[in-house]
Amino acid sequence: MRWSLAFSAFVASGSAQLVTDLTGSGWTLRSQNGSISIPASVPSQQYIDLYKAHVIGDPLYGLNNTEQSWVPLQNWTYTSRALTDLQLTGALSSTYLVFQGLDTFAHITLCNQVVGDTDNMFRQYIFDVSSILHSCGHTTPQLSINFGSAVNITHALSAGPDADPDDNFADSCSTTSSEFSCKPYARKEQSDFGWDWAPSLVPAGPWQPIFAVQMTPGQVHVNNALIDIYRKEQQNNLPSDQGMPWVFNASLDFVGSLPGVQIGMSLSLADANGKHVLTQALGGITQSPGTITGSTSIAPAAVQLWWPNGMGAQTLYTATVSVTGLLGVPITSVTKSVGFRTIVLNLSPVSDTELAAGVAPGAHWHFEVNGQPFYAKGANFIPPDPLWPRVNATKVEQLFALAQASHMNMFRVWASGAYLPDWVYDAADRTGILLWSEFQFSDAEYPNSTHYLQNYEAEAYYNARRVNHHPSLALWAGGNELEAIILAFFFSADQPGALQKQYEQIFLGVLPKCVYANSRSVSYIPSSTYHGWLKLDFDSEMPQIPRYLNTSGPDALYADTDAYNYDANTLFDITSYPIGRFADEFGFHSMPSSLTWATAAPPEDLYYPSETVINHNRHTPFGATGDADALSLAGIAEMTAAVEMYLPVPGKKDGAANFTAWCWSTQVVQADDIAHQIAFYRRGSGMRERQMGALYWMFNDLWAAPTWAAVESTNRQKVLYYAAKDIFSPVIVNAYYNTSGRTSDLQIWVTSDLFAPVSGIVSYSWVNYAGGAITVGTLSTGNISVSVGAVNATHVTALHYVDLSSTLAGSGVDAKDALLQLSVSAKAGDTTYTHSAVFHPATLAQAALRDPGLALTKPKVPTSNSAAGSTYTFTVSAPKAVAAWVWLDVSTNAVTGYWTENGFWLKEGESRSMVFTVWEDWSKGKWVDGVNARSVWDNTLP
């Protein structure tokens, strides 16, 4: 345990505020029946301490996640050591216990006296224990927290007075082998109960820090702080006037008491180098119980704008808000990192001017930053670990570095994980990754008794205030896919039923008010999939009147899309992709690499599909029946069917090599599929749908399992990561082939997400897999001029094949031995942007592949060394033939890092150099020797 003194000069006696940090070791964890009593720490959860004490194995290894199913069915008690640091007498007359996060159903005692009960993992709880502490007498105080079994409690709640039988829908209270049930009855990380990419552990424990605050009368301790920076007259959900001055609003929540007169507040702003920018008094100071608020105006020229990744600099400032008393004597202060930006989700109607320009009728669905509409490029972000106290800054910062390096500008922080801590938002602020944030509700109907509504409000109010100062905060959404459930199952325009009213009460009533009461700088929507609003009225009980299905006609577009396709036959059929204004979820699953599997399974289980692979796969086809193993195998079969359809099937004699080849092959299909979809959605920025965002599912993983992730649980990148990085390049060229069977139309488009127009040259060449030139129709090789508007797309009409199949046949070209190689070089101002792509009319399973004779040159020494990591440059070439999906594999877990590019095509005779940046190296450089190169051709080898 640690303690610190926070001095307050306001107190005439000069006595100190004592903050005792109760985190760290010295705690004890005890099971319900007392048979287990082990050392523990805080923050923690029961699985973590049980593993450290060797009571259980790693919950994520092998079959442990199911074999340890007894763990969440018990109550667990955390007990502190004797709190000798606390002062029981003297001037420090008030004592508060501050719990930053308790997971979830907790009963707290101090000196064997009841402190209180909690039932929300996401709230900060503060208890005044002054009287309890003074009544301890000569007994040294000891803190005890009993955590009830969330599994047992939620089942009991589902049959209690706050429950409605209609709530038990969409797995709310249905038990399967891989998911515990009744999760909506717990204000707890919903994926703790299991998801189709997560184990069902249901942890419990003090997952956030605990500390005690002791004060004299007249002192205050700030426990939360809201900073809201917005343009004057700005309103939520509406674009703002970029010429207006900034408003800096600060509101501090505290325990203790402030003097009643002559309270002042001030702002001091410094830049990233510590240089003073300004100091201003805050005006309009108001006080309510436990809160003080003030604001000031800042001239636009006084500060620089913060921009998302790829759009400008991530300019940050250090803001210190001070509270003073009589004669300006300091009382307290708060320091936060801030940025100046406006961000809005624009859902306003399409204008007549836009209609005349060819934009489909309906409403917009796009983000604008600092007045600029931009294309959102990114992915969905899930919890980095099923046990949040194990999440460390290094892993998260690596994930954000990967996102920044791959042209992303947005993560959707998916509902049903946990609200991200401030240090994660800090990483987003520094890297320019906007965070579409969501309140933690997903795919269920949530109870709406008075107790639950009050609990939701306290949770949302606290978290909305806590993270609002971060410029990376892009949006608050009420939850995941909630409107889609209402529209699919419960909607009535004329006679809304109980569940529709329940949805509206929580997500159109309670939650938006928590946002609007605290922020003018961020938009709110009730659901990740949302048809928008008909009317905004911030003074109404329902600030947004939802559109639902109230459209202006069959051609009108209003909503974002959330769609998955697991039918191998139609993966690359562009007519199967949804047309909307924004794509917030789409994906396909794949295996992690064999090296990541090796961290989570014994060697004898590294085959396809082993007992561990079957156990860790939680995705099952919709409507499938059977036992757990049969359901898992059916989900795995979706991946294997896709590999069999699109790639040469691995059939290697060596079992380990075959397992590696199969894992990699599922990743290639996944990468190809998602890259095709991203390209399709990006092209939509220049089509009638004016599509303005693509966030694939999902970016990261939390255990070794077949999932949709682009980055594995070890932070090793899948093929998808590099394919998405490539297709998220600012300017891209891509082929769009209609494979629906009704036509064989081939179109070439160039897409740009830059704020300025670009112009340049598209180069093309038709070749066979040996690299030899071929002629298709009248074209073989050439260059075509192209221009693209800002955030737009252009059809390269000179390369349009209305019926490619007939053209190939008429040219005497076998589709199985034909490739169209494309590249674009375009300029915006003085900057040149390049991109290349390959189109093949036949699948690689059918294609006339040749041995490319891959040759890899490895470095003997690092190319460079810096604080960011050492770099090594590798060169690979294909001297004999075209190479498909060239992959450089780091074949050891003794090093971590990432490539500048990977998973690409090489022309016959082409060489390419890639740089590997090392994060950690436990091999002393020997990992370089184990790097190897492969391509799809290797699948054909025994």
Question: What amino acid positions are annotated as catalytic residues?
Answer: 481
The radius of gyration of the chain's CA atoms, rounded to the nearest angstrom, is: 29
Rounded CA separation 738/682 (Å): 17
Rounded CA separation 736/738 (Å): 7
DSSP state of 892: -
Query: How many residues does this entry show for the chain?
Result: 942
Rounded CA separation 129/774 (Å): 83
Q: Which of 388, 505, 530 is nearest to 449 (CA)?
A: 505
In degrees rounded to 5, what are phi and psi of residue 338?
A: -135, 165
Task: To the nearest 10°, report the CA torsion of 266, 272, 275, 277.
Answer: -40
Largest separation between any pair of C-alpha atoms in the chain: 98
Strands 330-338 and 317-324: antiparallel
Strands 693-696 and 376-381: parallel
Rounded CA separation 930/889 (Å): 8
- The CA–CA distances, whole Å, from 4 to 1, 8, 92, 130, 288 equal 10, 13, 14, 19, 28
DSSP string of 575-593, one letter each residue? GGS--SS-EEE----BPPP
Conformational region of residue 841, where left means phi above 0, alpha means psi within -120 to 50, and beta covers everything else: alpha
CA 268 to chain centre: 33
Rounded CA separation 723/904 (Å): 8
Sheet holding 210-215, edge to edge: 2-7, 16-21, 210-215, 94-99, 125-128
Rounded CA separation 929/858 (Å): 8
Per 3-state DSSP, the chain is made up of helix, strand and coil in percentages (nearest 5) of 25, 30, 45
Rounded CA separation 918/937 (Å): 28
Rounded CA separation 56/123 (Å): 29
Residue 934 CA neighbour count, 13 Å, CB half:
19
Which tokens in the block code for residue 920?
Answer: 């950690």
Burial class for 109, CB neighbours closer than 10 Å (0-12, 13-18, 19+) = middle
Q: Mapping DSSP to helix (H, G, I), strand (E, B) and coil, where does residue 511 land?
A: helix
Buried b / exposed e along 383-392 (16+ C-beta atoms within 10 A): bbbbbbbebe
Rounded CA separation 40/593 (Å): 34
Contacts of 348 (CB under 8 A, 6+ apart): 238, 239, 363, 364
Rounded CA separation 124/128 (Å): 14
Contacts of 833 (CB under 8 A, 6+ apart): 729, 730, 731, 752, 754, 758, 760, 824, 825, 826, 827
What sign does the CA torsion over 35, 41, 45, 47 have? negative
Angle between helices 719-727 and 655-683 (to 10 degrees): 20
Secondary element (H or E) of residue 328: none
Rounded CA separation 665/652 (Å): 13
* 729 neighbors 833 (Cβ within 8 angstroms): yes
Residue 235 CA neighbour count, 13 Å, CB half:
6
Rounded CA separation 544/504 (Å): 10
